[in-house]
Amino acid sequence: CTKQTSENSMASPHTDLHFVLFPLMAQGHLIPMVDMARILAQRGAIVTIVTSPVNAKRFKPVIDRAIEAKLQIQFLELPLPLDEVGLPEGCENFDLLPSHAHALNMYSAMSMLENPAEILLKTLCTPPSCIISDSGFPWTNNIAKRLNIPRLIFYGPGCFAFLCMHILTHTNILNEIETNSEYFAIPGLPDQIEVTKPQAFTWGKGDSKETTEIFERAQEADKDSFGIVVNSFEELEPKYVEAFAKAKDKKVWCIGPVSICNKSFNDVAERGNKAAINGHDYIKWLDSREPGSVVYVCLGSLSYVSTEQAIEIGLGLELSNFPFIWFIRNTTDEFERWLLEDGYEERVKDRGLMVRGWAPQILILSHQATGGFVTHCGWNSTLEGVSAGIPLVTWPQFAEQFLNERFIIDVLKIGVKIGTEVPIVFTELDKSKIIVKRQDVKIAVQDLMSTEEEGEARRKRAREFKVLAKIAMEEGGSSHRNMTLMIKAITSIKEVAKNTKSVIDV
């Protein structure tokens, strides 16, 4: 029996619901859903997160701390049938795949989890009241139906990107655009948003027959969902929240930025994975810098940077003349050789920190020395930058990242483009060279950090969003209220189901 007996003491219990969360096995999905689990548990709910053993192990310290704080959270481990799909042992997260071309094998493994997941859910002492599922698990829809409980969906990105995707997949606009280089305005949006066909196309329709089928299956299952939970906040994208809910004809609850729920040093420093260096060492390094002077560079959990590209980034940062902290996810022997031969690290050691591995991102973003963020425009990173009140250099690569770039530049007006125009096919990331030249890096960073009027205006807007984000998550704020409304809606469904059952029993 997997029932937790601890009582929630952080917040007075508002609910006796049991939420079961199914995050996709990727950091950009697991991280916000683990935060979401904590927020639900702080409201008194029991929360079960279903994931594979390697992912459960990665997040164990976070969950152990939550349990210590008397939150009723647990992992339920569901092994992935890696053997059956030709994936090596331990490849249980998109960031652990031998190559990005194995993404489809991962999707195949995930699609086989319906039966084992249902059997596991039936072992729970407290029956689930609601499933919150990543859209990438369409089969959770079947389980929710059989258990007669509502299924909410979580996609990852914000309402702006989803509204764009909805329009792009429900109109003929993409067929009308003849070339891949032409910019066109996405019709029916509250703002003038222009993209090229590949920028709009890589996401929502898939980039191959197989990925298109994955998207279609997810969209079909999503039609039955009771509502959509979004890691965003209403004040950030008010027109888009409303238009997205209308387009989907579903309830949309914006409950973020969920990263703000991480308050203690350990929760901030150890979010998602073990950081490459002890959090206190970063603080020491950042403490020695002027406020707002440091550029933080991190291209997410999946982006791939070739040796050539890493060299250009390094030289561009050096040329910019700003202090920087740069995280490299996938260093290569070739790159390490270049570093030695070029004497790069020695040259920049007084103002540059280069780290191979996992960044404690919100720890760095929330430090007063950090003044700019070079991001790949993943939605979580975008929102974490916004929550920290920091302007962004935008370097989108794949998925909905080009749409997020448009949101940062055209709607929020808190960013500077690095200048990439052509998306990379996700399954071919490893082959990508994507050369953004050192001059492009230098110019974008200098522009972002500039104290001229435009730079100051960007910085001011970014700071305003930080305040709004914080208020949204506080009691009485929009995201706090939306969480209450979502819990109430699920409670009502549970009550109706209970009453119907007692009438039948009589």
Query: Rounded to the nearest whole angstrom, what is the least distance from the CB of residue 95 to ligand UDP in the complex?
Result: 8
> Per CB under 6 A, which region of 16-24, 164-172, 378-386, 467-475 contacts ligand UDP?
378-386
Q: At what angle do helices 478-505 and 453-473 cross, to 10 degrees?
A: 30
Q: What is the DSSP letter of 343?
A: T
Burial of residue 354 (CB within 10 Å: 0-12, 13-18, 19+) is buried
Strand partners, 375: 298, 394
154 binds ligand UDP (CB under 6 A): no
Q: Which is nearer to ligand UDP, 20 or 275 (by Cβ)? A: 275
Least distance in angstroms from the C-beta of 493 to ligand UDP: 30
Nearer CB in complex with ligand UDP: 100/438: 100
User: Per CB under 6 A, does 311 bind ligand UDP?
Assistant: no
> Does residue 34 belong to the site contacting ligand UDP (CB under 6 A)?
no
User: Taking a C-beta distance cutoff of 8 angstroms, is the pair 382, 299 a contact?
Assistant: no
Cα 299 from Cα 347, distance rounded (Å): 23
In 3D space, the residue among 169, 171, 109, 165 whose CA is nearest the CA of residue 136 turns out to be 109
Q: Which stretch binds ligand UDP (CB under 6 A): 14-22, 217-225, 296-304, 457-465?
A: 296-304
Closest CB 404 distance from ligand UDP, rounded Å: 9
Long-range CB pairs of 12-16, under 8 A, 24+ apart, other chains included = 12/44, 13/43, 13/44, 14/43, 14/44, 14/484, 14/487, 15/43, 15/44, 15/45, 15/487, 15/491, 16/44, 16/45, 16/46
* Contact with ligand UDP (CB under 6 A) among 43, 100, 102, 271: 271
Applying CB under 6 A, among 222, 318, 384, 447 the residue interacting with ligand UDP is: 384
Q: Give me the residue label for tokens 């991190």.
A: 298
CB 285 within 8 A of CB 314: no
The answer to whether residue 8 forms part of the interface with ligand UDP (CB under 6 A) is no
Q: Which stretch binds ligand UDP (CB under 6 A): 24-32, 39-47, 118-126, 481-489?
A: 24-32
Q: Give min distance, CB of 161 to ligand UDP, in A.
A: 11
Give the span between the Cα atoms of 277 and 273, in whole angstroms: 12
Q: Which stretch binds ligand UDP (CB under 6 A): 4-12, 249-257, 356-364, 442-450?
A: 356-364
Residue 457 to residue 33: CA distance in whole angstroms: 33
DSSP strand E in 176-254: where? 184-185, 194-195, 227-230, 251-254
User: Is residue 427 within 8 Å of 406, Cβ to Cβ?
Assistant: no
**Shortest distance, position 272 Cβ to ligand UDP, whole Å:** 5
**Does 108 contact ligand UDP by CB under 6 A?**
no
34 neighbors 46 (Cβ within 8 angstroms): no
Residues 388-427 that bind ligand UDP (CB under 6 A): none
Q: Does 80 help bind ligand UDP (rule: CB under 6 A)?
A: no
Q: Binder to ligand UDP among 381, 394, 420, 432 (CB under 6 A)?
A: 381
Query: Rounded to the nearest whole angstrom, what is the least distance from the CB of residue 424 to ligand UDP in the complex?
Result: 12
What residues between 472 and 501 interact with ligand UDP by CB under 6 A? Answer: none
Q: What is the DSSP letter of 412?
A: I
Q: Which residue has the tokens 């230098």?
A: 442
Question: Which residues within the stretch 316-355 sit at the binding site for ligand UDP (CB under 6 A)?
Answer: 327
Q: Does 234 bind ligand UDP (CB under 6 A)?
A: no
Size (the chain), residues? 506
385: contact with ligand UDP by CB under 6 A:
no
Task: Select the span of 84-92, 131-139, 374-382, 470-478 touching ligand UDP (CB under 6 A).
Answer: 374-382
Positions in the binding site for ligand UDP (CB under 6 A): 26-28, 31, 271-272, 298, 300-302, 327, 358-359, 361, 378-381, 384
